[in-house]
Amino acid sequence: MNPLHTHRPCELASLPAEQRWLIDGLWGHQAVGIVGGEPKCYKSFLALDIAVAVASGTACLRRFPVAHPGPVVLFAAEDALHTVRQRLEGISLAANTSFAALDIHVITSPTLRIDLENDRRRLSDTVSSLRPRLLVLDPFVRLHRVDENAAADVAPLLAFLRTLQRHFHTAVLLVHHARKSSHARAGQALRGSSELHAWGDSNLYLRRDRNQLWLSVEHRAAPSASPLAAELHTKHNAVALRIIERQLPAHNATPPPTERILQALTSTQHPLTRRALRDACRMRTASVGDALTILLEQGRIIEDVGGFRIA
């Protein structure tokens, strides 16, 4: 017999409070996760800002302290190497840290496919050699040739990255695209399989509302903060994202789809069908379906004879 190893709960290792964050409030200690958003929402700028912060020990976005700085390994698949250098140099200027001293190791191999055994082995060897505090892969779509919509294809790739995290005790940040003009909750709007959203310990999402950029923070094991207003700020050669003090405007007070569904169900004593909810909330069928899935998973509503009602 060769049984699996087990321990009683009191025998499991605990993590001191001071070690729970890689970046305080923004990214968990040794967390895997996603920086997501629609195209042209500065996802790569955010990922590089995180890389500079971890490598230098300076506050990310000039706001979030880094608890445990250390080396960073970066693969930027969509940007030319001179563009990567220019952006890192600009962020270093904004962070008032030495660009030459940055402990960032940029993978310069032209391709990296984590669906190929040889590339997985080479990436593992790189992480084993450099022992980074953070591994940044940007973007996910350039890391494979599988069907992003098929959970059976995506899950093994995410499992490989989780194995890297656990074996080498490193955080893993994956940049990924969201569907355009999606009204779903940030994580639900990520393109492809729902495995991607479920995988993350810490997830960051960038979205635009008219001309304003908003950053949402989501954690598996910690409270999530309210969305933060952000902007790409330029001062001389320092080009970097920053947080600005701005509240959600009054015209953006429309509740999210889940709250609109709850309001509609609360206002009646009878179950409502998907079609009735779509008409009452003036939402697209797909948005109603996404919101119902979230509310059912949270146990806030139940599906009854004749439709849905408050649990």
**DSSP letter string over the chain?**
--PPP---GGGS----GGGSEEETTTEETT-EEEEEESTTS-HHHHHHHHHHHHHH-PPBTTTB-BSS---EEEEESSS-HHHHHHHHHHHHHHHT--STT--EEE--SS---TTSHHHHHHHHHHHHHH--SEEEEE-GGGS--S-TT-HHHHHHHHHHHHHHHHHHT-EEEEEEEB-TT--S-TGGGBSS-THHHHH-SEEEEEEEETTEEEEEEEESSSPPPPPEEEEEEEETTEEEEEEE--PPPGGG-PPPHHHHHHHHHHT-SS-B-HHHHHHHHT--HHHHHHHHHHHHHHTSEEEETTEEEE-
**Mind listing the pLDDT tens digit for each residue in 1-17?**
889 989 999 988 887 66
pLDDT value of position 18 = 61
- Tokens encoding 176: 């990924």
Which of the listed ranges 14-23, 96-105, 209-218, 275-284 does the model predict with the highest average pLDDT? 96-105
Co-location of 35 and 177 in the same domain: yes
**Is residue 1 one of the residues assigned to a domain?**
no
Cα separation of 190 and 305, whole Å?
A: 32
The domain that holds 110 is classified in CATH as: 3.40.50.300
Co-location of 238 and 163 in the same domain: yes
- Structural domain ending residue among the three candidates 244, 262, 280: 244
Count the domains in the chain: 2
The residues pairing with 301 across neighbouring beta strands, listed in sequence order, are 310
Nearest to 140 by CA among 170, 113, 162, 109: 113
The domain that holds 286 is classified in CATH as: 1.10.10.10
Q: Is the CB of residue 194 less than 8 Å from the CB of residue 184?
A: no
Co-location of 33 and 82 in the same domain: yes
**Is residue 10 one of the residues assigned to a domain?**
no
The residues pairing with 138 across neighbouring beta strands, listed in sequence order, are 76
Co-location of 190 and 75 in the same domain: yes
pLDDT value of position 14 = 80
Co-location of 72 and 217 in the same domain: yes
Nearest to 256 by CA among 294, 307, 311, 230: 294
Question: Given pLDDT bands bounded at 50, 70 and 90, which one contains residue 253?
Answer: low
Co-location of 77 and 219 in the same domain: yes
Question: Given pLDDT bands bounded at 50, 70 and 90, which one contains residue 143?
Answer: very high
- Look up the domain containing 215 and give its range: 16-244
**Is residue 2 one of the residues assigned to a domain?**
no
**How far is the first Cα of the chain from the last one, in angstroms, to the nearest whole number?**
46
Q: What is the mean pLDDT of residues 143-169?
A: 96
Asked if the model's pLDDT at residue 303 lies above 60, the reply is yes
More confident residue, 188 or 209: 209
Co-location of 233 and 293 in the same domain: no
**Is residue 3 one of the residues assigned to a domain?**
no
- Structural domain ending residue among the three candidates 202, 226, 244: 244
Task: Quote the pTM value.
Answer: 0.77
**Is residue 160 one of the residues assigned to a domain?**
yes
Which is it for strands 202-209 and 72-76: parallel, antiparallel or unpaired?
unpaired
Co-location of 260 and 178 in the same domain: no
